[in-house]
Amino acid sequence: MTEPASSLAAARPEAGGGSPVDGESESLLCRWLATVLGAELDEASLERYRQGEAAPFLDYLRDAHGITDEVERLQEALSRLVMFTTPRLELAADFTELFLADARSGAPPYASLHAGDKQGFHGKAAERMEARLAAAGYAVRRDVAEPADHLAVMLDYLATRLQILAEAKAPDREGWRQDLEAFVEHELCSWLPRLVTRSAGVTTASDFYPALLALLEAYCRRLVEELRPA
Amino acid sequence: MTISRRSFLKGAMAGSAASLVGPGLLTSTAAAAAGVTEQGVWKTAGSHWGAMNALVKGGKVAEVKPFGADQYPTEMLNGIKGLIYNPSRIRYPMVRLEWLKNRHNGDRTTRGDNRFVRLTWDAALDLFHEELERVQTEYGPWALYAGATGWRQTGQMHSCGNHMQRAVAMHGHFVKKVGDYSTGAGQVILPYVLGSTEVYSQGTSWPLILENSKTVVLWGNDLYKNLQVGWNCETHESYAYLEQLKARVAEGSIRVISVDPVRTKTQKYLGCEQLYVNPMTDVAFMLGMAHTLYNEALYSQAFIDAYALGFDDFIAYVQGEAEDGVAKTPEWAAEICGVSAEDIRDFARLLAADRTQLLFGWAIQRQQHGEQPYWMGAVLATMLGQIGLPGGGISYGHHYSSIGVPSSGASAPGAFPRNVDAGKTPVHNNTDFQGAASTIPVARWIDCLLNPGDTIQYNGAEVTFPDVRMCVFSGCNPWHHHQDHNRMKQAFQRLETVVTVDYAWNATCRFSDLVLPACTQFERNDIDIYGTYSSRGVLAMHKLVDPLFHSRSDFDIFTDLCRRFGRDEEYRQGLDEMGWVKRLYDECREANKSFSPASGDGEASSPMPEFAEFWKEGYVDFGPGENWVRHADFRQAPEVNALGTPSGFIEVSSRKIARYGYDDCRAYPTWMEKAERSHGGPNSDRYPLWLQSVHPDKRLHSQMCESEELRATYAVQGREPIYMSPQDASERGIQGGDLVRVFNDRGQLLAGAVVSDDFPPGVVRIQEGAWYGPVGPEIGALDTYGDPNTLTLDVGSSRLAQAPSANTCIVEMERFEGEVPEVTAFGGPSVVEI
Amino acid sequence: MKIIAILWNTLKKPPVHISLGVIIIVSFLAGIVFWGGFNTAMEYTNTEKFCVSCHEMEDNVYQELQSTVHWSNRTGVRAICSDCHVPHDWTAKIARKMQASKEVWGAIFGTIDTPEKFEAKRLELAQHEWSRFKANGSLECRSCHDYNSMDWDKMSDEARRFMEPAAERDQSCVDCHKGIAHKLPDQMGSTKDPMLARLVREATSVSLDEGQQYYSAKSVDLFTDSELTERAGVLQVATEVNIIETRGDSVRLEIPAWRKEKGFGRVLYEDFGQNISSAVLDKEVAQNDSLIEVRETEVVDDMTGLPWGNVDVTLWAEKGAYLESRDALWETAGQTYRDACSVCHTEPAPEHFDANTWPAMFSGMVGFTNLSAGTQELVLKYLQMHSSDYVEGAH
């Protein structure tokens, strides 16, 4: 995949200086990704996806970030859902296979399990994430009952950082940007490729979630690049 | 086309895409000060592997150290953290997709290899309740099997079998089991012979053995390996005595002989002698010994006259005067057991020469005709005439839960009730089993599933198999402990509904329809006795961390199930978790009111403080107990302290058993050929290797097999090891570290070769408890990790005990060639094409 | 002469139907009357202050009362001494018993002026009160607690299980509720098994009729003489006995039994060929023909080949240890069995094994329970008597 540099350049806000990233939009995008990776789709959401209501996110990923193949793959997966008599259940079963069942198989969405330290859940990555959340004045909702290194938690956290970046005044902005860049690069990009590989090894009924993971991985890679000083 | 990011944002928020964004998983808290490092708190916890102190930091278990009082901690404690944070944890309630769609009408052939979906607890418990309701109303109590229980996690309050059975029993009656997989044959035969199940009885105290025995015989008994774990919190007190025994062996004051085909861990530790016997031929060997003892007049006629009945009938069989007309001479025995006639004679003479303590393990009764070696052992001990003397006689339990460590005499805490409260009846109070048995011998339950309505003999009675449609398991993994998994697959396809409560994705979960996540014992508060037999103290089991993910305690799970039929208050008797823990402690304290430590100053005051103080301290010590001799009371006054046999005396022959008319368990112990046997036995030309599936060294049955850390210390290429002799390996071109395919007519598995001089030709070992992970749902599919029960024989020991015969198993093996399948044992449900 | 006879009788026989409170008050009044001043005394004797004015009362029973629910509870209703121990129609009795009771005072209270002496006498004192409650159906209790006013639905399940049948029989409260306001006598021990202890207490107030059948509520020492000095053995719990004779605090019992004709015949069994033990005799007693009537001999049990004999053994034992039926004992034993054994595993139904298999099953596992020796004995007997040998239709 080649990156259409022009579109990226064109997407940059006119107000120069500081980060080229539109924090507010990216934040919303991350919240969407956190939602769709955080839990199974219910009937209503699924219907919205099938009606194409996710288009703004996908368009944005394609147009602003130049992610074309992965977006197409996800759209293809969405359009193929018509083949199932009970698409919600099939997607829920895929979600389970990948994310919820025995974490030795599938593509468990926890950074600790991909860190290679064999510690299982609540490993070092989770501790770092907890420290980040605590420092930022956040905690994982009790009813969610997931460790802090769950992918969706990390994306929600990323969304809050992007929002802060969007609202930051010039003198603080560089500090936020550096922190964000480090976070995406070391805490996400470090293991997302492995997660994508693992998901590819699982036979799912629909390609929806594997495609989504691939899209997320591409996005994070792109985001790091964009967060780097020009 | 390009868009402005501003326009994207606006567009998205204005449009319906915004509704695809959820509320997020985070909540605001006060921002924590950076750089503050938490000290953590040390808490007390217990387990089958022993007690421990755990450092809890930031809501996580940071470090686990052996409990101070434990002088011989097992390395398995290193697996505790791996058990809590294991990737195999069941994190959410799950339902099998096919079952969710079509319930009991669905396709059952995909059971064990199917897609699951997540449920909320409410939805999952609704389904559980609906199924119980359906089975009780459409069928009846005969259709529900909730009898199987296993080695629950420790803790008297949360003991999971109690919770499951109480809750299910409050809803309706169900089929129960009798017996277990460890001592099935022993616990049925020994009451006829020695008047007690013996296998779970306290035994002669180790100090008396060390003091009085001149010879100690370890018969198929690897106690150094097996004493690492205990039924309650294990104290490892036995190891101090093994250390002394080792010293006695070294100085030559006690001769220890391990009668075993394999050089055991115990033998190597003690530096003791080994007497090799062909697998499964112990009875022939012992009959040869009996022949020697009798004909060389080395036996005690006086003891037999005073304490035993039926010796004449037995000795006629030994002398060749019975129906078979064969004298059980050492020469006759040598042919079968592989020990020379002279060695048999010498061994018999040695045992008769001085004080001899026989210590039997359980392995030799986990085989076809498993009743016989135990009965024959008792007969030998009777002939030696030392039963009831310190350091003499026979024990069937010194390898288990520190039997032989003197009991303090203090009372242990009770438990959460297993039964419905007195005077209460279930919602469906239907006790009509329609002529079928309400209790089945546990090891025959697969027969029951496959052949409903069939009638079998069991222990002098008839048992008609009920037509079971639904099973409930909690903390019980039959896909580890039952024999012949391919047969089990067929049986499970007959089941309409299987509900399993557990904390890790073992094979039983994968063969279930509804899987409910229990938390581990480290995620709830509890109380336990420290030392199952020694009653050394009472241990607080502090909750170390909150239940992980969406797991819940058994107490919470089943309280909520009972709420669905309006019996939750009754279920929990109005108490919460800590209320129960306190009640169990207070009742124990009351029961120990007049307890005084054996070695104390005789003060009769209770050593047990108020609950709050106990809970803070984490432990109350009762002190060591006093020495005791098994059967000494019987020896002293046989009439008054009669044994529990029909006559009250040792029954060398049993008229009662004779009356049953079983040809596989007769009036006295007899040698019978097995259905299959290595070393020249039936079918050994096709499958020349005896597969022994002993209790594992680094697991408790199947518990902790999931621990990566521990498994890394023994697995070979990620597979369960198969131990073999250098000769068997080289004959097959196998080298240590190779993957081997082990097979017989019942199944096939992959294992990793370990070649060792400890094993004689014709004997291979795969430890039981290895997790089952077949490549697919089809019958005969290759097991990718190496569960020996893929290969074992599923027949009853005899009509008497109907016990498992796991150690009657012969196999062949070959170096594995071709594409190596991934290990699926530790995976969750896998996927089929739709 | 007549007065002496009454006095003698009173001293010798405990005043079974006179309230302890009455005795104390009357004795006190006797003194007052002697000095003159009856009317003021009348009022005074009904107060708590009066009751605890002697140190025996204040140091012992009064202290104990204060730790019970009858002293302090959430509703603020308190029962004082006279509420329970003085019949509400007591004045009539005063006049009638005054003279006799004056002596009882001395007989009792001269002997309890130290805590040790009080403890030694506690059982006797308690038995007097229990007998009186037995006779009047616990009348004083019922002025506050009435069966008719009990709302079963508001009762705990366990309480209801015992209370409903008690109400049906209009049972005397103190039959079961002994030791609720004061400490129980040490002799009535078993704190390990309150249900069994309750039955043992109940037995203390069962009146024994000669020629009738009863069942031991606990294990009872047997003697060859009515003074209970020559020990003969032990009668085991839940054993059927015939009362031949009562004499003072002793009873002469006949134990119908079977025994093995091997060894000394020391163990008596409930039934032919069944190892359900009834009693264990000392060796000499077991062979003493004057105490043992042999009804049948040399009856061979085919299951073991052992010869058995049918005998009646007649010996002496204490009174107050027998119940009219075994039902309550079996109920207690059954509950104890289910509770204790289900701690670790599903307990087999009693009829799952026969009577001679149960001892083996039981002895193999009982070490895991906290059952006292006495309770073990009862539970085993329950299992044997409800085994397949005794239950219709069981295998």
Q: Flag whether pLDDT at B43 surpasses 70.
A: yes
With pLDDT > 70 as the criterion, what percentage of chain C qualifies?
Answer: 74
C364, B191: Cβ pair inside 8 Å?
Answer: yes
Considering the domain architecture, whether residues C156 and C302 belong to the same structural domain is answered as no
pLDDT at C23: 67
| B243/B245 Cα distance (integer angstroms) | 5
Residue B527 C-alpha from the chain's centroid: 21
* Domain endpoint, select from C307, C323, C339: C323
The alpha carbon of residue B491 is apart from the nearest alpha carbon of chain C, in Å, by 24
Domain assignment of residue C333, yes or no: yes
Contact B740/B751 with Cβ under 8 angstroms?
yes
Give the list of residues 6+ apart from residue B236 with CB closer than 8 angstroms, or none. Answer: B50, B70, B71, B72, B73, B74, B227, B228, B402
CB pair distance less than 8 Å for B3 and A11: yes
Q: For position C198, what pLDDT does the model report?
A: 83
pLDDT category of residue C134 using cuts at 50, 70 and 90 = confident
Q: What does the alpha-carbon distance between residue B619 and residue B541 come to, in Å, rounded to a whole number?
A: 9
Write down the pLDDT at residue C192: 58
Q: CB–CB of A64 and B8 under 8 A?
A: yes
The whole-number average pLDDT for the span B803-807 is 98
Residue C18 lies in a domain: no
Show the tokens assigned to C304. Answer: 């073991």
pLDDT value for B575? 97
Tally of domains within chain C: 3
Instruction: Select the residue of A13, A35, A136 nearest B20 (Cβ to Cβ).
Output: A35
| Residues of chain A found within 8 Å of residue B24, distances taken between Cβ atoms | 31, 34-35, 156, 159
Q: What is the pLDDT of residues B70-114, one digit of tens each?
A: 999 999 999 999 899 999 999 999 999 999 999 999 999 888 777
Asked whether residue C102 carries a pLDDT value surpassing 70, the answer given is no
Mean pLDDT of C208-212: 91
> What average pLDDT does chain A have?
88
Q: Are B671 and B277 in contact (CB under 8 A)?
A: no
pLDDT of residue A19: 46
List the single range of B561-575, B607-621, C70-84 with lowest mean pLDDT. C70-84
In chain A, which residues have their Cβ closer than 8 Å to the Cβ of B89?
A: 103, 121
The pLDDT value recorded for residue B259 is 98
Q: Which one has a higher pLDDT value, C359 or A12? A: C359
Quote the percentage of chain A above a pLDDT of 90: 75
Q: Which residues 698-727 in chain B show a CB within 8 A of chain A?
A: 708-709
In chain C, what residues touch B159 (CB-CB under 8 Å)? 343
| Residue C88: band (very low, low, confident or very high) from pLDDT cuts 50, 70, 90 | low
How high is the pLDDT of residue C178? 72
User: Which of C193, C354, C363 is the mutation pick for testing B, counting most B CBs within 10 A?
Assistant: C363
Identify any residues that bridge with C293 across adjacent strands, giving them in sequence order: C312
Contact between B9 and A28 using a beta-carbon 8 Å cutoff: yes
Specify whether C195 is located in the same domain as C214: no
Under an 8 A CB cutoff, do B646 and C395 touch? no
**C315 plus C368 within the same structural domain:** no
Is the confidence at residue A2, as pLDDT, over 50? no
Top mean pLDDT of B106-115, B291-300, C247-256 is at B291-300
Cβ separation B117–A105 shorter than 8 A: no
Q: What are phi and psi of B273, to 5 degrees?
A: -85, 160
- Report d(CA A119, CA B86) in Å as an integer: 8
Cβ contact, residue pair B644, C161, below 8 Å: no
Cβ pair C342:B419 closer than 8 A? yes
Q: Is residue C15 part of a domain?
A: no
Residue C367 banded pLDDT, cuts 50, 70, 90: confident
Give residue for tokens 């539109």: A22
* Residue C359 domain boundaries: 186-206+325-395
CA distance C268 to chain B (A): 10
B7 touches chain A (CB under 8 A): no
User: Tell me, what's the pLDDT at B604?
Assistant: 42
pLDDT at B340: 98
Same domain flag for C73 and C122: yes
Determine C/A contact with 3+ CB pairs under 8 A as the test: no
Res. C139 pLDDT band, cuts 50 70 90: confident
Average pLDDT of every residue of chain B: 94
Question: Which of C175, C197, C226 represents a domain boundary (last residue)?
Answer: C175
User: Per-residue pLDDT tens for A72-87?
Assistant: 999 999 999 999 999 9
Lowest mean pLDDT among B29-38, B693-702, C56-65, C325-334: B29-38
Nearest CA in chain B to A6: B2
Residue C45 in any domain: the answer is no
Pairing outcome for strands B94-96 and B514-517? antiparallel
Q: Could you tell me if residue C386 is inside a domain?
A: yes
The reply to whether residue C339 touches residue B165, judged by beta carbons under 8 angstroms, is no
pLDDT digits (tens, 9 = 90+) for A14-66: 333 344 678 888 999 999 999 999 999 999 999 999 988 999 999 999 999 99
Partner-chain contact B2 A7, CB within 8 Å: yes
CA-nearest residue to B96 within chain A is A93
Q: What percent of chain B has pLDDT over 70?
A: 95
In whole angstroms, give the CA distance from residue B234 to residue B154: 10
Give C266's contacts in chain B (Cβ within 8 Å): 639-640
Residues C271-283 pLDDT 10s: 999 999 999 999 8
Least confident of A56-70, B361-375, C115-129, C350-364: C115-129
Q: Do residue C155 and residue C190 come from a single domain?
A: no
The model's pLDDT over B452-472, given as tens digits with 9 standing for 90+, comes to 999 999 999 999 999 999 999
Q: What is the pLDDT of residues C156-167, one digit of tens each?
A: 666 776 677 778
Using a pLDDT cut of 90, give the percent of chain B over it: 88
User: What pLDDT digit, counting tens, does each position of B347-393 carry?
Assistant: 999 999 999 999 999 999 999 999 999 999 999 999 999 999 999 99
Lowest mean pLDDT among B373-382, B594-603, B612-621, C99-108: C99-108
Q: Per-residue pLDDT for C103 more than 80?
A: no
Query: Which B residues 150-179 touch C at CB under 8 Å?
Result: 156, 159, 161-162, 165, 176-178
Q: Quick count: other Cβ atoms within 10 Å of Cβ B56?
A: 20
C265 shares its domain with C373: no
Contact B535, B619 (CB under 8 A): no
Q: Which residue has the higher pLDDT, C145 or B614?
A: B614
Q: Work out the minimum CA distance from A134 to partner chain B, whole angstroms.
A: 5
Measured in angstroms, the CA of C339 and the nearest CA of chain B are apart by: 7
pLDDT for C82: 78
The answer to whether B684 faces chain C, any CB pair under 8 Å, is no
User: What integer pLDDT is reported at residue B3 of this predicted model?
Assistant: 46
Q: Rounded to 5 degrees, what angle do the CA atoms C326, C330, C336 make?
A: 150
CB < 8 Å to C362, chain B: 644
Token duo for residue B122 = 């409410």
Nearest CB neighbour to A118, from listed B100, B548, B708: B708
pLDDT band at residue B833, thresholds of 50, 70 and 90? very low
| B2-16, B94-108, B131-145, C134-148: segment of lowest average pLDDT | B2-16
CA distance B150 to chain A (A): 22
In a domain, C33, yes or no: no
Q: Which of B162, B640, B644 is the closest to C363 by Cβ? A: B644
Higher pLDDT, A24 or B142: B142
Give the lowest-confidence range in A12-21, B67-76, C88-97. Answer: A12-21
Sorted by where each begins, the domain ranges of chain A are 2-12+20-227
Query: Nearest residue of B to residue A5 by CA position?
Result: B2
Give the number of other Cβ atoms within 10 Å of residue B612's Cβ: 9
What is chain B's length? 834
A8 touches B: beta carbon within 8 Å: no
- The neighbouring-strand residues paired with B273 are B257
String of DSSP letters for C8-76: HHHHHS--TTS-HHHHHHHHHHHHHHHHS-HHHHHHHTTSHHHHTTSHHIIIIIHHHHTTSTTTS-TT-
Enumerate residues 6+ apart whose C-beta is below 8 A from B161: B149, B150, B152, B418, B474, B475, B476, C345
Q: Find chain A residues with C-beta within 8 A of B118's C-beta.
A: 40, 92, 95-96, 100
- Record: contact B25-A45, CB cut-off 8 A: no
Residue C232 in this model has a pLDDT that exceeds 70? yes
Q: pLDDT tens for residues C9-68?
A: 554 555 556 666 666 666 666 666 555 555 565 566 667 776 766 666 777 778 778 777
Of B231, B461, B644, the CB nearest to C360: B644
Average pLDDT over residues C346-355: 87
Asked if the Cβ–Cβ distance from A153 to B34 is below 8 Å, we say no
Do C220 and C273 lie in a common domain? yes
Whether residues C196 and C255 share a domain: the answer is: no
**Residue C238 sits in the same domain as residue C302:** yes
User: Does residue A5 belong to the interface with chain B, where contact is any CB pair within 8 Å?
Assistant: no
A2-12+20-227, superfamily in CATH?
TorD-like (1.10.3480.10)
- Asked if C168 and C60 sit in the same domain, the reply is yes
For chain B, positions 15-34, list CB contacts with chain A under 8 A: 15-17, 19-22, 24-32, 34
How many Å lie between the alpha carbon of C355 and the closest alpha carbon of chain B? 9
- Please indicate if any CB of chain C lies within 8 Å of the CB of B464: no
Distance CA A80, CA B625 (A): 72
pLDDT of residue B591: 86
Contact B828 A95 (CB under 8 A): no
Distance, CA of B362 to CA of B372 (rounded, Å): 12
User: Do B418 and C343 lie within an 8 Å CB cutoff?
Assistant: yes
Of the residues C278, C297, C323, the one at which a domain ends: C323
Pairing between β-strand C250-260 and β-strand C240-247 as defined by DSSP bridges: antiparallel
Whether residues C232 and C218 fall in one domain: yes
Q: Both C56 and C166 in a single domain?
A: yes
